[in-house]
Amino acid sequence: MAFDAIFQPIQIGSQTIRNRVVSTAHAEVYATDGGMTSERYVKYYEEKAKGGCGLCICGGSSVVSIDSPQGWWSSVNLSTDRIIPHFQNLADAVHKHGGKIMIQITHMGRRSRWDGYDWSTLLSPSGIREPVHRSTCKTIEEEEIWRIIGDFAQAARRAKEGGLDGVELSAVHQHLIDQFWSPRVNKREDEWGGSFENRMRFGMEVLKAVRAEVGNDFVVGMRICGDEFHPDGLTHDDMKQIAAYYDATGMIDFFGVIGSGCDTHNTLANVIPNMSYPPEPFLHLASGIKEVVSVPVIHAQNIKDPTQANRILEGGYVDLVGMTRAHIADPHLIAKIKMNQVDQIKQCVGANYCIDRQYQGLDVLCIQNAATSREYMGLPHIIEPTEGAKRRAVVVGGGPGGMEAARVLAERGHEVTLFEAEDALGGQITLAAKAPQRDQIAGITRWYQLELARLQVDLRLGTRADVATIQDLRPDLVVLATGGQPFLSQYPQWGYDADPEKSLVVSTWDILSGKVAPGKNVLIYDAICEFSGVSTADFLADKGAKVEIVTDDIKPGAAVGGTTFPTYYRSLYEKEVIMTGDLMLHEVYREGDKLVAVLENEYTGAQEERVVDQVVVENGVRPDEALYLELKAGSLNHGQVDLEALYAAEAQPCLEKLGNGEGFVLFRLGDCTAPRNTHAAIYDALRLCKDV
């Protein structure tokens, strides 16, 4: 079998894991009612177990003490016995599908925010603040040290009594255990700092207390960093020494190993590598730890593909592979491998929409799979064929929303025709993939192309649909996903003209698509501060242009997530792109063969000028709704969506009118309704079409 290494069982402590694939600990932001594992939480992990995942380690950064804040990102709360019955629900749901479930437990020390929930006083070994969270903290006292050690033990007890299969001690991401380890932040001169043994003492006492509480028949693992990547931090050799030291106790059942610390914005980007990174960039660090320990080693960083995972295991680099974002994208990944449906796996593209939401305190979602974490609402990963009449559906627009609508309708068994004006599918994904750091996002389109071919959707590429074309097909359902166009006309003083020969400004779309050649001295004005502006700056600089990117926001890329903007900043600084905040584009005028961009300070109104040969504007899009307005009056529902049904993921009431010969139901979604994002378009397509 091509994937034999993946399907080999392995023993971790007292537990036999059915295969070598793990969904590693991440903060889901689904816990409710003060950190309890909700129905949403349970269904999310049940789906992974149902899909064949061997081991799920849930609850990244789940707190053991009430002074380690969990409220702002809804992590799981193990500081109270209230969690036990909730764990029992979780364990039962995973176990009935043959999976194993553990939880990561921690005290985050200084790595959190104090301004919310119980307004905690944060702690660290020496009272040194953390750059990422910008939170001040006190120096931990010895009484508090022993209290927290006891809290770890009681948290492990609650996990065991709740029926979970183990706990993973977090000594990674500069949480409290590894804050004690690192001389970078541990400046103590008492028995908890200084020498190697003293710096190890807190973690060792935690381990001893946990093991004394739960016994030897309960799995206890530890997640560690393979190298902090700080000049004054813990090196790979340091971490090998630490891993061997803890392994020698015989109290650890497994190690999870990742690369990089994450207490600065730059190192944070390494921990969850986005699509700009190569595959498994830090595998060598996990492999180095495996050389010095006697228990299984798990590694999870940018392992997305089953062939890649199998190769890592066959090579003996580690014992288990973490495919966490891969399971967020497709929780049925393992089942599809078993059924020889590898081409049907919805592979993670590394967009990091999931983790970037989590760092904003928002629930984890997948950019391309709207069913993930919405299982509790009845949104399906596997679309079942309808038991009712087969309908004829027309979808207009081949971007992500249109492709999802066509896929879902075809899976339901309906006859689907998709019109796309361009010669290829993809919509704005195609444009995004042109940028230097965004090429892998094209994987979203590749998956849809394979699925639409498998489902025999009638694709009419290079064809702009009109009312007559649509009516000729006598559809029961019309879904419009026609997108929008760059919104350059908002301010006449920018000098936009529909005739490109007369226009003083061009759009980011013009540049990325190749419609307009890059200038040599370019000003980009970015009013949106998401991917398009910084991607275009990166693209132009890559072509040799001298670039300044200006925004009226606090900084360019302000709305790009915390694990993603640092990789842009690395590239833009390296290419000497000038980044300027707090200035709005007031006016553009021509002076000789140059353009003058007049910029106005957001706060003072003071103006300054830039003399350039090209002005590129990113100001979002305006919906392309002309076709919708032509079709609206003739539709059964006048294009309207029942919002209560939509938000409850229930069937649209207007679908009941189908089949009586009266006409067609009309939906629109994505940017042709209102500009949002890829996930929003796919989500609307799924919930509108799944019940047709």
Give the number of other CB atoms < 10 A from CB of residue 606: 9
DSSP letter assigned to residue 140: P
445 band by pLDDT with thresholds 50, 70 and 90: very high
Asked whether residue 437 carries a pLDDT value surpassing 70, the answer given is yes
Q: What per-residue confidence (pLDDT) applies to 87?
A: 98
Strand partners for 80 = none
DSSP string, 232-281: TS--HHHHHHHHHHHHTTT---EEEEE----SSHHHHHHHS--TTSPSST
Query: Per the CATH hierarchy, to which homologous superfamily does domain 392-485+623-689 belong?
Result: NAD(P)-binding Rossmann-like Domain (3.40.50.720)
Look at residue 388 in the predicted model and tell me its pLDDT. 87
Confirm if 670 and 481 have CB atoms less than 8 A apart.
yes
Q: What percent of the chain has pLDDT over 90?
A: 88
pLDDT tens digits, 492-543: 999 999 998 899 999 999 999 999 999 999 999 999 999 999 999 999 999 9
- CA distances 342 to 22, 308, 346, 637, Å, are 18, 13, 9, 40
For 555-583, the pLDDT digits (tens) are: 999 999 888 999 999 999 999 999 999 99
- CATH number for region 10-377: 3.20.20.70
- Separation CA 259–CA 267 (nearest Å): 10
Q: What is the mean pLDDT of the chain?
A: 95
Whether the CB-CB separation of 102 and 167 falls below 8 Å is answered with yes
Distance of alpha carbon 685 from alpha carbon 681, whole angstroms: 6
Q: Which residues pair with 12 in a beta bridge?
A: 15
Q: Please name the residue ranges forming H helices in 543-575.
A: 565-574
CA angle at residue 313 from 307 to 314, to 5 degrees? 85
Equal CATH topology for 10-377 and 488-619 = no
Residues 462, 53: Cα–Cα separation, whole Å? 41
DSSP 341: -
Backbone dihedral region for residue 210 (phi beyond 0: left; psi -120 to 50: alpha; all else: beta): alpha
Position 114 pLDDT exceeds 80? no
Given a cut of 70, is residue 44 above it in pLDDT?
yes
Domain boundaries along the sequence of the chain: 10-377, 392-485+623-689, 488-619
- Cβ-proximal residues to 687 (8 Å cutoff; 6+ apart), any chain: 370, 379, 646, 649
Q: Which amino acid is at 383?
A: I
**Would the pLDDT of 132 be above 90?**
no
Give which of 518, 448, 526 is closest to 486, Cα–Cα.
526
Q: Count of H helices and E strands in the chain? A: 22, 27
E strand or H helix that includes residue 63? strand 55-63
Per DSSP, the residues of 196-215 read HHHHHHHHHHHHHHHHHHH-
pTM equals 0.95
Distance, in Å, from the CA atom of 511 to the CA atom of 255, rounded to the nearest integer, reads 47
Of the candidates 352, 370, 330, 303, the one whose C-alpha atom is nearest the C-alpha of residue 47 is 330
pLDDT value for 668 = 96
Q: What is the pLDDT of residues 54-98, one digit of tens each?
A: 999 999 999 999 988 776 678 899 999 999 999 999 999 999 999
pLDDT bin (cut points 50, 70, 90) of residue 1 is low
User: Is the pLDDT reported for residue 269 higher than 90?
Assistant: no
651 contacts 602 by C-beta, under 8 angstroms: no
How confident is the model at residue 72, as a pLDDT? 66
What's the rounded mean pLDDT across residues 338-348? 96
Amino acid sitting at position 208: K
pLDDT, one tens digit per residue, over 369-394 is 999 999 999 999 999 999 988 999 99
Going by C-alpha positions, the residue among 569, 551, 550 that lies closest to residue 561 is 569
Longest dimension (CA), the chain: 84
* Residue with tokens 């980011």, as numbered in its chain: 508
The predicted structure's pLDDT at residue 171:
97
What does the pLDDT read at residue 71?
A: 62
Average pLDDT over residues 19-40: 95
CA 356, distance to chain mean position in Å, is 6
Over range 476-484, report the average pLDDT. Answer: 97
For 455, phi and psi rounded to 5 degrees?
-90, 0
Mean pLDDT over 607-636 rounds to 96
- Is the separation of the CB atoms in 75 and 35 below 8 Å? yes
Residues facing 580 on adjacent strands: 550
Distances in Å between the alpha carbon of 410 and those of 383, 459, 494, 692?
Answer: 9, 12, 45, 10
pLDDT of 139 higher than 80:
yes
Residue 468 one-letter amino acid: A
115: pLDDT strictly greater than 80: no
- Measured CA distances, 15 to 9, 11, 65, 170, 447 (Å): 10, 6, 27, 20, 36
Domain 488-619: assigned CATH number: 3.50.50.60
259: phi then psi, degrees, rounded to nearest 5: -100, 145
Using the predicted structure, report yes or no on whether residue 450 has a pLDDT greater than 80.
yes
Residue type, 60: G
Quick one: pLDDT at residue 288?
Answer: 98
